């Protein structure tokens, strides 16, 4: 099975931290702040952007918190471009989604495919993987385009 884990669990907030705790992590101020900041984003976010929103979290702490949360499976490091990493809540927490990337301004936003659309994609993906001896465990779809704001200046 490749796609869509479960539907958007009402308010992630709680469950994210609970998962982190279950993974044996302490729920420190920095980690709560990082999770809260990620929840407030509409798409994968750079460490620099997070650092700006979390002015009181030192950069070394921010990166360590992100690394630990990635290890715990509640945050994902995705969509690196131009040598800059972006972070988002993991699909296990935020639900499966695709990314719309504006080739002009670089913004990335999440889009949630309809269940039937994603079933179709998952089926295709699994067939391709199988044809090459792979066992598929997931897929990522990045849609490149131009956003409304950049198209009409």
What Cα–Cα distance (Å) separates residue 139 from each residue in 97, 115, 118?
A: 10, 14, 10
Neighbours of 115 (CB within 10 A): 12
Among positions 36-65, residues that touch a second copy (CB under 8 A) are: none
Tell me: does residue 102 bind a second copy (CB under 8 A). Answer: yes
Contact assessment for residue 10 and residue 53, using Cβ atoms and an 8 Å cutoff: no
Closest CB to DNA among residues 35, 125: 35
Binding site for DNA (CB under 7 A): 21, 25-31, 46-48, 57-61, 63-68, 80, 82-85
Site size toward a second copy (CB under 8 A) is 39
> Which among a second copy, DNA, none contacts residue 133 (Cβ within 5 to 8 A by kind)?
a second copy
What Cα–Cα distance (Å) separates residue 50 from each residue in 24, 28, 128?
A: 24, 17, 37
Q: CB of residue 78 vs DNA: minimum separation in angstroms?
A: 11
Among positions 113-152, residues that touch a second copy (CB under 8 A) are: 113, 117, 120-121, 124-125, 127-129, 131-148, 151
Closest CB to DNA among residues 75, 121: 75
Secondary structure string (H, E, C) spanning 37-50: HHHCCCCCEEHHHH
């Amino acid at each position: 099975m490749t796609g869509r884990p479960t539907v958007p669990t009402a308010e992630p907030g709680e469950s994210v931290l609970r998962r982190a705790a279950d993974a044996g992590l302490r729920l420190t101020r920095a980690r709560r702040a990082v999770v809260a900041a990620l929840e407030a984003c509409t798409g994968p976010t750079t460490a620099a952007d997070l650092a700006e929103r979390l002015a009181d979290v030192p950069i070394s702490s921010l990166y360590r918190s992100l690394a630990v949360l990635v290890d715990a499976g509640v945050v994902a490091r995705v969509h690196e471009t131009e040598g800059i990493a972006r972070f988002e809540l993991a699909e296990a927490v935020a639900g499966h989604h695709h990314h719309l990337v504006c080739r002009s301004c670089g913004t990335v936003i999440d889009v949630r495919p309809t269940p039937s659309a994603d079933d179709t994609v998952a089926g295709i993906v699994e067939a391709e993987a199988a044809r090459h001896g792979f066992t598929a465990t997931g897929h990522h779809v990045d849609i490149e385009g131009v956003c409304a704001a950049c198209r009409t200046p």
